[in-house]
Each structure stands twice: as structure tokens, then as C-alpha cells.
Amino acid sequence: MARKRKGTPIHGWLAIDKPLGLSSAQVVGKVRWLLKAAKVGHGGTLDPLATGVLPIALGEATKTVSHVMDGTKTYRFQVRWGLATATLDREGDVVGTSPARPTRAAIEAALPAFIGEIEQIPPAYSAIKVDGERAYDLARAGGTVDLPPRPVRIDSLTLLDMPDADHADFEVVCGKGTYIRSLARDLAAALGTLGHVSVLRRTACGPFHEADAISLETLAELGQGPGPRTYLLPVETALDDIPALALTAAEARRLHCGNPVPLRHVTTRDPEAALGEGTLCRAMDGGRMVALARIEGGEIRAVRVLNLMNDEGVDDVDHP
């Protein structure tokens, strides 16, 4: 018999506004301590020197983390021209200088080359594994880190401001695996200079946005009572871009027990619910999500079953 987790069973998502200086793991630890939550994770790492939207998954929401990590992200960042650092941000030692400073016209002319599907070499100081070791561990130990380029997707890259000759502010909308530090390095190189990220803030991560984010200080002030629940988003928030299927209570119980449900039973009630082979969907019992499911062979099959009941047998998330 599985051992029961210690802590309060809380299920849903919090969008935390990560402060400067804390790692994503430290934020997870603080949320777990503040809420006395049984299970906590995060959807999309932010470096300690970055601030902004860090989605925190609680309880059954941790089963949907991968969908947030795969989602589109928006960042605002500042590039410091003329200085290259070992870490590609302001934390690292300066490893190169350049007197060249790009003009606004030159920057705007260079941006289109970085939009779309591009190849990008990740920073040496990154969490990518090389022969079983993290790249940043090898780099800190003085080893040579040679990472191959990888494809990334950049949907838009906009110059926002140029406060002075040494700095430029940008906004980027990008896909999974894009390193803003590498983008700054490569943009500077294309402009005939050097550069590093001096400020980085994530304003959106999948369905989670800056306007909905809560600070750790506010979370601490609300305490462990019902206050934090006003910011708690349903588990299915992470899956808002995939279709939902409305099941009957009997079908929901069947799927929850690991048994498939014929798709035709659902489409008979709702012809618009006809989904193609391999489609991921949210299997819903009224306002409660039963499982993340996939259509296979004309059947609805559970990929991840969700147990959204607290110890009293009541749905633990308030669904609007």
C-alpha cells in the first residue's frame, strides 16, 4: 500500500511572480512550506537572475507540468552591448569587450533573421547534460563545454527601447527550449559587437500571465487559510488549448478505473465531439477533470488519470 504524503492535499496551479535571486527550486520549497502542501512542482525553470511568471503545480496539477513546459513563453530582456560574459548574463566574469555599439536601424534590420525556426547553441552554463553531467557543472570546473546547435522557434522579436548606447530592451515570444542568453549573444554577434543579458523577466508561460501572478510575500500574508485559494487555478488550466469531452458519471468512473470509453458514446450525444485518431483531450465529468486522455482506435483512453478529491471526497479545486 502506497504511503500517504505528508501535507495538505491541494490541487491546482499558482502563477508565482518569481523574485530576483531565488532559483525555481527555492520558490517551490517556499510555496510548499507556506501552504503546507503535500505535492508541489514547477512548469518551466527560471534562472536566479530572472524574474517573472513561474507556474507552480500543486497536487494533481503536477501531472500536467509537461504541457506548460512545452508551451509558448514571452520574455522582456535587456542586452548590455560591448561586454561578453562567461555565463552570457551579468553574473559571469567578463571574457571579452568590444567598442562597437549598434544603432536602432541596425538592430531593427537584424531582427528578422532571428524569427522563425532557427538553430541556436545553448549556453555552456546550462542544465543540459553532457555525458551524464550538467553543462554548468563542467563549465564551473573549468572544463570545455561543446554543445551542438539545436532548433528553436521564435515567433516574434521586438526592439522596445534604447535607454542609452550601451543597452537595448526587447520582447520575445518563443517556443520550448529557447535560451534568451544565447539569443542576446547571437544578436550581438550579428551586429558586429558583443553582448550579454543584463535583465530578464518572463511575462507569460503557456496560459499563465504576469497580470495573474502573485508574489511570495502576498502568498505569505494570505497564510494557510482560504486566502491562497482565490489565486488557485484549476488543474486543466495547463490544458486549455486541447479539446474537452463531456462524459457521463458512469463513463467517467470507467475511464478513471483505467478502462477505455467508446468515442461513439460521446459523439452520439454531441456530434461536434468527434476527434481524430491520436488527439489529446480533457475528459470531463461536469466541472471536474477526470483524465488527460487520447483517442485511439475509436476509444477514449486515459493517458494520466487525475484524482481531484480531497480527504473528504470533495473536489479540491473551485471551478468557475
List alpha helices for the chain, DSSP H.
Answer: 24-35, 65-69, 104-110, 135-140, 180-190, 216-222, 249-256, 263-269
pLDDT, mean of residues 173-199 = 97
What are 76-116's pLDDT values in tens digits? Answer: 999 999 999 999 999 999 999 999 999 999 999 999 999 99
CA dist 43 and 256 (Å) reads 25
**How confident is residue 126, by pLDDT bands cut at 50, 70 and 90?**
low
Q: How distant is the alpha carbon of residue 57 from its chain centre?
A: 11
Same domain as 266, residue 213? no
Same domain as 81, residue 64? no
* Residue scoring higher pLDDT (128 or 263): 263
Where in the sequence numbering do the catalytic residues fall?
Answer: 47
Structural domain tally of the chain?
Answer: 3
Residue 92 lies in a domain: yes
Same domain as 186, residue 85? yes
Residue 315 lies in a domain: no
Does the pLDDT at position 294 exceed 90? Answer: yes
Does this model's pTM top 0.85?
yes
Contact 139, 145 (CB under 8 A): yes
For the domain that residue 156 is a member of, what is the CATH number? 3.30.2350.10
Same domain as 88, residue 54? no
- CB contact set of 1 (below 8 Å; sequence gap of 6+): none
pLDDT at 94: 96
Residue 310 lies in a domain: no
Same domain as 161, residue 85? yes
Same domain as 191, residue 91? yes
What are 57-69's pLDDT values in tens digits? Answer: 999 999 988 888 8
Same domain as 150, residue 51? no
Same domain as 198, residue 112? yes
**Residue ranges making up the domain that contains 289:** 242-305
For the domain that residue 260 is a member of, what is the CATH number? 2.30.130.10
Does the pLDDT at position 225 exceed 70? Answer: no
Last residue of a domain, one of 181, 205, 229: 205
pLDDT at 9: 85
Last residue of a domain, one of 237, 256, 279: 237
pLDDT, mean over the chain: 88
- CB contact set of 129 (below 8 Å; sequence gap of 6+): 135
CA-wise closest residue to 61 among 302, 292, 297, 295: 292
Outline where DSSP puts E strands in the chain: 12-18, 40-42, 50-58, 73-81, 83-85, 94-97, 116-120, 129-130, 133-134, 150-164, 167-174, 195-205, 208-209, 244-246, 261-262, 280-285, 288-296, 299-305
CA dist 12 and 319 (Å) reads 10
Q: What's the Cα-to-Cα distance from 112 to each of 13, 37, 94, 98, 177, rounded to whole Å?
A: 35, 45, 28, 24, 20
